[in-house]
Amino acid sequence: MLTGIGTDIIEIQRVADAAANPRFLERVYTAGERDYCMRRKNPYPCLAARFAAKEAVLKALGTGLAGCRFTDVEVLPEFVGGPPAVKLYGGALKAAEKQGIQQVLISISHDGGRALAFAAAVKGRDDT
């Protein structure tokens, strides 16, 4: 059952400017996300899409950043070349567990200087 939705959009250049400060990268992205995006010729669309994804996930959980950190949400492919998947840690995981949310679905994209994401929080799993 769908229990929450969230969306976010951000200008890629804004993330590129902020990424000049390594503390921003460490504060916002997990080591896995940094490694995944920084391997690209232009890492900024990848980083911006993940920033938007984190915001969208926190909105879908209904928490925003209250009691959560950006690194409590990780967005990486489940397998090489696969679609993005969400893993929750810390405060985001606690918020999801408290609400019975077992899965967060995510869609991310970037084009025309902007990145966007849409997240859906789901109670239960439909593995059929």
Is 45 within the bounds of a domain? yes
Residue 72 has pLDDT above 50, yes or no: yes
Domain that holds residue 102: 2-123
Average pLDDT, the chain: 94
Residue 124 has pLDDT above 80, yes or no: no
Sheet holding 114-123, edge to edge: 2-11, 114-123, 101-111
pTM for the model stands at 0.92
Q: What is the pLDDT of residue 81?
A: 84
State the first-to-last Cα distance of the chain, in angstroms, to the nearest integer.
14
Arithmetic mean of pLDDT, 48-69 = 93
Residue 128 has pLDDT above 70, yes or no: no
Is 40 within the bounds of a domain? yes
Question: How many domains is the chain built from?
Answer: 1
- CATH code at 88? 3.90.470.20
Is 128 within the bounds of a domain? no
The lowest-confidence range among 15-29, 42-56, 113-127 is 113-127
